[in-house]
Amino acid sequence: VFPPTSRSLTFITHRSWRSEREEPAAPPHRFQRGDLLEVPRTLFTHFGIYLGDDRVAHLIPDILPVLTADRRLIQEMVTNTRLLLGVLSKRASIRVDSVEDFAYGAGILLIHMDPSAQGMKVARGGELLLGSVSYSLLWNNCEHFVTYCRYGSAQSLQTEQFCEWLKSLIRNQSNILLVALLGLLSVMYLGLSFSTVLPTVLIPFTMWMAS
């Protein structure tokens, strides 16, 4: 949905993206159209664009649009079950919810508009993208949506942090030995077969070549 950008642009965008993080937000009536809102969740941070009149545009995984065309049902607040099934099916919606429904009981952080961005343009960009979209935890999530609307380039600091963690995990050769050992134990326990030998050899080999 959102075009990729070069690595150099990623660095520049993320440096300013970090520097704009702010304190807990003011009441909704003090939000400005085009402000970016951030909601800390258990495993990730959710982002949205304030549109005015207590409305927030945000990208959220949702299975329901795949199952029904009933807009009344779809517009109801996305439950955790709908969200999880949306992640697994790689389907999402860019939708408009109230500030309260967007926050889902969590505190909201306000990311102030930087001087180079225009709030009305950011909000309008979010409105133009409303509808069903494909979802990827790493390549097309809520942070990609808001950074694309603000900067014209889809970026996700959360994705980069996860990838860095994954790379450090793979580069640790003790983890490769541990995976190989677990594979051998599975062969000993489950027996020698194609389904046990292949992952026992392939996974450690792939990790070794990637390290």
Mind spelling out the 3-state secondary structure of the chain?
CCCCCCHHHHHHHHHHHHHCCCCECCCHHHCCCCCEEEEECCCCEEEEEEEECCEEEEEEECCHHHHCCCHHHHHCCCCHHHHHHHHHHCEEEEEEEEHHHHHCCCCCEEECCCCCCCHHHHHHHHHHCCEEEECECCCECHHHHHHHHHHCCCCCHHHHHHHHHHHHHHHCHHHHHHHHHHHHHHHHHHCCCHHHHHHHHHHHHHHHHHC
Task: Just list the catalytic residues.
Answer: 142
- CA-nearest of 175, 205, 173, 200 to 189 is 200
